[in-house]
Structure 1
Amino acid sequence: MEDMLTIQEMSRRSGFSEATLRYYERIGLLGAVDRDSASGHRRYDGGVVERVEALACLRSSGMSIDGMRTYVRLLGEGEAAGELRDLFAEQAGHLAAELDRLRVRLEYLQLKAQLWDARSRDDTAAEAETVREVQEVVRAF
């Protein structure tokens, strides 16, 4: 048990809160988590640590709990390369769409900053051009 991580150590390493780690264990995402025989505290072995790190990557990509459940299920079934490919391709598509939405929001904010800069300089031509550009971006929302 010496080389196993406590829940606090696992939380720091993964970025998940202790409550999230307990929840993931409860819903079956982590599999069996060993317990210290004396204290009953959770102890995370190498396999569970790897699973938590993989889930942290999936979560940071925006994958849902259902998506993570599918990932864990498919890993357990083995021979699921095609289904895993589809899962990751679908998530990549979701992330690409979110990046597009963020780019539009970024452009909007940059243009609004330009607009107020033009107004602060009393540059009516630059202000009018920026208003036109802002209107184009707003249509993209």
Structure 2
Amino acid sequence: MAGATSEHTGDLTIQQMARRSGFSEPTLRYYEKIGLLGEVARDESSGHRRYEPATVDRVEALACLRSSGMTVSGMRRYLDLLAEGDAAAAEQRDLFAAQADKLAADIEQLQLRLTYLRRKADLWNARVRGDADAEKQAIDDITHVMNQFTLKDRTN
């Protein structure tokens, strides 16, 4: 493949890996230090990190997990189970199902916050227009949303 850059072959510098994964350079160093990445190869002449294809794949998998809200301990658990292969399939399923449930709860909470903000905008829009009926409706809607927040607090 003539003219291929190191970024396309998978032998990436830390800067390239950071851009590709979305992790900062300090995060990549930290993940290496705590063992999430395994040993990262070094350039013989400079000693700079060189991310080989297998490590690039691992970093990209971790980036997906992190973007789903998975914690470092969850990522570590994933990697430990991955090393066990198919024997850990049920545990992997449970790990991902639990993370999906957590993400669904987070999305529900964000939807509630979004509704609150939109109802507040409706309230102020009604005041701008001088529409007392719309203002009363907005206040009722806001109160309903706030009650949902309170219900969530009591059930958690």
Structure 1 stretches of 4+ with a deviation exceeding 6 A read none
* Counterpart pick for 1:67 among 74, 78, 92: 74
The offset of 1:32, in angstroms, is 1.5
Residue type at the aligned position of 2:70: M
Q: What is the SS of the residue equivalent to 2:103?
A: helix
| Stretch deviating more after TM superposition (36-45 or 2-11) | 2-11
Q: Are 2:103 and 1:95 aligned?
A: yes
The offset of 1:34, in angstroms, is 0.7
Runs of 5+ in structure 1 lacking a partner? none
TM-score normalized with structure 2 length: 0.87
Q: What is the SS of the residue equivalent to 2:35?
A: coil
TM-score normalized with structure 1 length: 0.96
More relative contact order, 1 or 2 (CA 8 Å, 6+ apart):
1
Runs of 5+ in structure 2 lacking a partner? 1-5, 150-156
Q: Are 2:32 and 1:25 aligned?
A: yes
Q: What is the SS of the residue equivalent to 1:111?
A: helix
| % identical aligned pairs | 60
Distance 2:90 2:109 in 1: 29
Q: What is the SS of the residue equivalent to 2:61?
A: helix
The offset of 1:77, in angstroms, is 2.0
Cα-Cα RMSD: 0.9
Residue in 2 aligned with 1:85?
93
